[in-house]
Amino acid sequence: MALIFYQNFNLAFFLIQVMTFFIIPPAYSQTGTPVPELTVVDDDVTIFLKKWQIPGAAVAVAQDDQLLYARGFGQADENQAMRPDHLFRIASLSKPITAMAIMKLIQDDILCIDDHVFGAGGVLSSAPFLNYADNRVEQITIQHLLEHTAGWDRDTSPEGDPMFNAVKIADAMNVPAPADALSIIRYMLQKPLDFTPGTQFAYSNLGFNILGRIIEEVTQDTYEVYVQNAILQPLGITSMALGKNNYEDKNPLEVRYFDPKDRKVKPVTGEAKKVPLQYGGFNLEAMDAHGGWIASAPDLIKLMASLDRKDEAAPLKPETVALMTTPTSDRRGYAMGWFVNPNGNWWHTGALTGSATLMAHIKDGKKWVLLLNARPEDDNFYPELDRLMWDSLSKVHTWPDKHLKETAPLVVSSEEVSTPAENLTQPMQTQLPH
């Protein structure tokens, strides 16, 4: 009898453990310097991650040029806690980085915003770009590419989004799978445009791929090297790099990406085996200029903070920043590499299987970055991610000391000063094309 009772007790205890695991979300560890004034952010981020069953996140908040908050939540990899300095695939947050690089070349008089891209006299007029089926491509300008008005519409085109069609394009272009960035452009130039350049907005990963090739053409550097040398390293950002397709090739500081649906697909190499969708199911290495960067939350804060600087060391002058973030009159929701709204806020979202990202530059000087290592495929997810920091920071009544010397580096501060949370009442009304 005693043995039967012991066995039944063990079975009951096991069942309770299993039920508890599935009913009660696990506690999320938190790393980074605690900021007493911003504990509401700790709580709200934890609630958000539990609700959406996301393994881990890194979050950073700044005012002007001071990083006030940088914390890691949950799991970076198996048996590894998330740290604030972990690197994530940032997906379409890469687009503002590419826009900054292009604007730097315009500022340095190497490019003009209205330069034509293709055809005789175009920036890309060498042999790989001369075989095009639609003469309207000769109308495409750098501004069209930056504003997503160049003529490609992935939602109506029979090609869909070519940046996620690497095996088919490799076969069509007779190149090894997966097709690289240049082969994808060459393939699409052999197809008709979906609309006349400049006549409508259609979010285009392909357009930013082309901007990456423009940077390479005029600098004679790789896209990655130019961005690092011209934009990142002068700001003291040294860990940002382009990501890799496979888990075994990832950066040592990079997180693991999780697919909530745990999908297995044929890899973009064309092999018959199955791989996790987030590791080899798409060719991240061809997405450099539109979605290929890996970065930490504090580094992205530092990048956004540089856009407010007015000193000689700033990568972009105020007038260049204004050009980049001011939309044309008939397309108020997007400027050049940034979503914008009439409140003076700029932001971008990013989405890939295994990562969801958002960074925001608010008119009053506040900035935040949210990097997550899973992406729920639910229409409500991104609106809630957008609202998360607006709602959380609106509860803050006493802020950490945000006054630093102009030349001081970004540091985590938890010194208390009484500062109201101003102008944090309206969400950014994020649009969701990625």
> Residue 223's domain is classified under what CATH number?
3.40.710.10
Strand 88-89 to 80-81 pairing:
unpaired
How many residues are given for the chain?
A: 434
In a domain, 376, yes or no: yes
In a domain, 181, yes or no: yes
Residue 330 pLDDT class (50, 70, 90 cuts): low
In a domain, 60, yes or no: no
Q: Is the pLDDT of residue 409 over 60?
A: no
Residue 328 pLDDT class (50, 70, 90 cuts): confident
Residue 100 tokens read as 């900054």
pTM above 0.75, yes or no: yes
Tell me if 205 sits within 8 A of 291, measured CB to CB: yes
Rounded-to-10 torsion of CA 126, 197, 291, 315 = 80
In a domain, 412, yes or no: no
Q: What is the pLDDT of residue 312?
A: 87
* pLDDT tens-digit readout, 128-186: 999 999 999 999 999 999 999 999 999 999 999 999 999 999 999 999 999 999 999 99
Q: Is the pLDDT of residue 428 over 70?
A: no
Tell me if 305 sits within 8 A of 62, measured CB to CB: yes
Q: What is the pLDDT of residue 358?
A: 98
Residue 313 pLDDT class (50, 70, 90 cuts): confident
Instruction: Please state the rounded mean pLDDT for residues 373-386.
Output: 97
Q: Which of 24-28, 208-212, 359-363 has the lowest mean pLDDT?
A: 24-28
CA 75, 76, 78, 80 torsion-angle sign: negative
In a domain, 372, yes or no: yes
* pLDDT tens-digit readout, 236-274: 999 999 999 999 999 999 999 999 999 999 999 999 899
For 205, phi then psi, to 5°, come to: -65, -40
Q: What is the pLDDT of residue 21?
A: 35
Q: What is the pLDDT of residue 402?
A: 52
Instruction: Please state the rounded mean pLDDT for residues 400-419.
Output: 38
Q: What is the pLDDT of residue 401?
A: 75
Q: Is the pLDDT of residue 424 over 50?
A: no
Q: Is the pLDDT of residue 434 over 70?
A: no
Q: Is the pLDDT of residue 331 over 70?
A: no
Domain that holds residue 117: 88-395
Residue 232 pLDDT class (50, 70, 90 cuts): very high
Eight-state DSSP code of residue 73: E
For the chain, the maximum distance between any two Cα atoms, rounded to a whole number of angstroms, is: 92
* pLDDT tens-digit readout, 31-69: 999 999 999 999 999 999 999 999 999 999 999 999 999
Domain count, the chain: 1
In a domain, 306, yes or no: yes
Q: What is the pLDDT of residue 27?
A: 67
